[in-house]
Structure formats: structure tokens, C-alpha cells
């Protein structure tokens, strides 16, 4: 698949589509981009094959690192750490965060892809708020975090706070919080 005609906006739409974010944040993001739900689905359909591993003869000579660079080149952030095979991209919808991607197999496969806090931005938030809290922040406000499930770019946890009898269910996509529920009652937190 070719990355021709795809750019930062389409990649952001792909992430929105695959995050399954709260409806309010999705609507605000699409409004900010001046696009629709149909535009989002179309972009996801165009980006997804470019990011899918291509094995066997069909994958010969393909390089996901090069494909992703062709899509996100304008968003590339100068080196943020000492990891040679990791690239960071600044995506306008998620200010204060960068999207970090590391590759394996000489760039043929994406090893990991997740949002990280951009250096120099605010510390982790004291409360887990959707699109402000990262998987890496888990042990800040919580004394316990147990992974419940992981599939693709999603991870879910059951967590506890010190001196709080409730258990909380947290769902992350691409390392960024998408949902918080009180696990004991199943009621959604006001943060969603």
C-alpha cells in the first residue's frame, strides 16, 4: 500500500477512529479539524493497510518506518531521547503529548506506538482524566494497578487509590486514557 496522499490530518483521524474515545471528545476533535465521522472512517480505511504488516513476497522491500515518515514527516519532532529506533511526532489534536513509535526488523514492523508526555510540559495530572492521563502515569495516583486485558493498542487495568475502598477500571488506547469507571458499581466517572 502507498502512503501517497496521506498526511498528519489523516493519521489523526485514524487514531481517533481506533481509540474509541468518549463521544464528546470525538465530536470536539472532528469539529476542530473541520471534518466529519465519515471523513474519519475514510481516513482510517486508507491508513490502516499502510500500517498493517506485509509478510511474504507482498512485503518484500516494504518499510513501515519509511511509510510512516512519508505520512507524518511534517510532524517529526527532533530527537527526544537516546533510543535510536524511536521517532516522535507532534500531533495537533493532542497538545502536550507526542506520539512515539519504535520499529523492529530494520523498520519493517512497528514494535510499539504510544503517546508520551512531551518534555517540558506539565507533570502528570493528579487525577486520571481522559486524554490527559497516560498509562505511564498509573502509579502516580494509584497504589495498585493490575492489567486486566491487552489487545492490539488497547490495555485495561483495575486500580486502587490509597484509602479508597473502590476499584477503578481504566481503558487506554495508544497509551492514553479513554475511559474511567468505578469497577464496583459500573458507573462512569465524570472524567469520561
What pLDDT does residue 36 have? 97
Residue 91 corresponds to which cell in the numbers above? 500531533
Please give the DSSP secondary-structure letter assigned to residue 134.
Answer: B
Strand partners, 39: none
Q: Model's pTM, two decimal places?
A: 0.86
CA atoms within 13 A on the CB side of 18: 24
Residue 158 corresponds to which cell in the numbers above? 483495575
Residue count (the chain)? 192
Strand partners, 147: 157
What pLDDT does residue 190 have? 45
Please give the DSSP secondary-structure letter assigned to residue 13.
Answer: H
Q: How far apart are CA 68 and CA 81, in angstroms?
A: 19
Instruction: Write out pLDDT tens, residues 62-86.
Output: 788 889 989 998 999 976 655 566 8
Looking at 83-92, 141-150, 168-177, 179-188, which range is the least confident one?
Answer: 179-188
Q: Is the dihedral of CA 157, 98, 153, 35 positive or negative?
A: positive
Judged by DSSP in three states, 157 sits in: strand
Identify the residue whose cell numbers are 477500571. Answer: 169
Amino acid at each position: 500500500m502507498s502512503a501517497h496522499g496521506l498526511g498528519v490530518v489523516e493519521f489523526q483521524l485514524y487514531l481517533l477512529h481506533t481509540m474509541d474515545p468518549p463521544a464528546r471528545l470525538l465530536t470536539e476533535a472532528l469539529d476542530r479539524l473541520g471534518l466529519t465521522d465519515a471523513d474519519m472512517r475514510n481516513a482510517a480505511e486508507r491508513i490502516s493497510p499502510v500500517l498493517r504488516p506485509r509478510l511474504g513476497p507482498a512485503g518484500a522491500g516494504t518499510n513501515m518506518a519509511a511509510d510512516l515518515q512519508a505520512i507524518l514527516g511534517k510532524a517529526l519532532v527532533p530527537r527526544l531521547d537516546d533510543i535510536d529506533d524511536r521517532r516522535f511526532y507532534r500531533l495537533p489534536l493532542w497538545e502536550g503529548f507526542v506520539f512515539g513509535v519504535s520499529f523492529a526488523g530494520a523498520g519493517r514492523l512497528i514494535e510499539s506506538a504510544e503517546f508520551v508526555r512531551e518534555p517540558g510540559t506539565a507533570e502528570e495530572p493528579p487525577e486520571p482524566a481522559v486524554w490527559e492521563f497516560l498509562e505511564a502515569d498509573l502509579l502516580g495516583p494509584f497504589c495498585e494497578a493490575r492489567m486486566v486485558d491487552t489487545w492490539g493498542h488497547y490495555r485495561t487495568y483495575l486500580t486502587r487509590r490509597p484509602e479508597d475502598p473502590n476499584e477503578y477500571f481504566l481503558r487506554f488506547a495508544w497509551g492514553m486514557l479513554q475511559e474511567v469507571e468505578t469497577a464496583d458499581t459500573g458507573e462512569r466517572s465524570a472524567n469520561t
